Amino acid sequence: MGHGLRAVLVGTMGMLLAVGAGRGGAEAADIGELNTGAIVVRTYTPPHLRNDIHIARRTASAILERARIDIDWLECGLPANLKESSACSRPADPNELIVRLVSGTTVDRRPGVSTLGYAFVDLGAGGGALATIFADRVRGMAQGAAVGVAELLGKTMAHEIGHLLLGTNQHSAHGLMRAYWSNADLRRNRATEWLFDSREGEVMRQGIASRLRLPAGGSPSPITRRLETAWSVSPLQRDDDAIPDRDH
């Protein structure tokens, strides 16, 4: 049985404690409460995941905080989040990312397809804004490894956010950004296997600074303008790492 992720995360509560709960990420009630100095992640969560998304967010936030990256979360999918509707309806700013949670069976019904998610990365702009997570496949992998579904969902979200902030579809040999995850990895749950390395953290922080930077006169920086246009009109490179679920 295989499970893949074009950007992957997987976690258990034990891992979350090992990484550290930290700030846990902020959840804004409206656009006025968003931290403009942080990365804002809009999540589009289907109703059946309402009980998992909060733990998933805390897991992802804890991982990213270890890389000194703060995340503000904005829920745009659940009907109960009516206060956030105005913020969700406006165009995304350069410091905003979108993570949508869907069913893999609605996208690809081929037998044996095991991708957990993917991120759209514009290699020319050095960034991206949209990632998709196949929540049913994450659940299947978590159940097969006997680990928490919500924590694995959070790790997967963090991996995909990593691709968007790193601006690459490449993977590392070790740590959170490796291409292959196994049931044994999930059960072993070594904290070092679910973190960004120091180089990745530095690249992501530099990328965030470029998204936020405004030169004198208040005009967006060149990279910000490039990202704004690239997300809408340029061909996007989909990072594509099918991650087999291997026990060895």
Q: What is the pLDDT of residue 214?
A: 42
94-110: average pLDDT? 77
* pLDDT tier, 25 (very low <50, low <70, confident <90, very high otherwise): low
Nearest to 39 by CA among 205, 197, 176: 205
Q: Give tens-digit pLDDT for 182-195.
A: 899 999 999 999 99
* CATH numbers and ranges of domains, the chain: 13-239 (3.40.390.10)
When mean pLDDT is compared over 11-15, 17-21, 131-135, the highest value belongs to: 131-135
Cα angle 200-206-207, degrees, rounded to a multiple of 5: 90
Where do we find the tokens 């095991």? 114
pLDDT band at 88 (very low <50, low <70, confident <90, very high): confident
Q: CB atoms < 10 A from the CB of 92, how many?
A: 16
Give the pLDDT confidence score for residue 78 in this predicted structure.
78
Mean pLDDT of the chain: 74
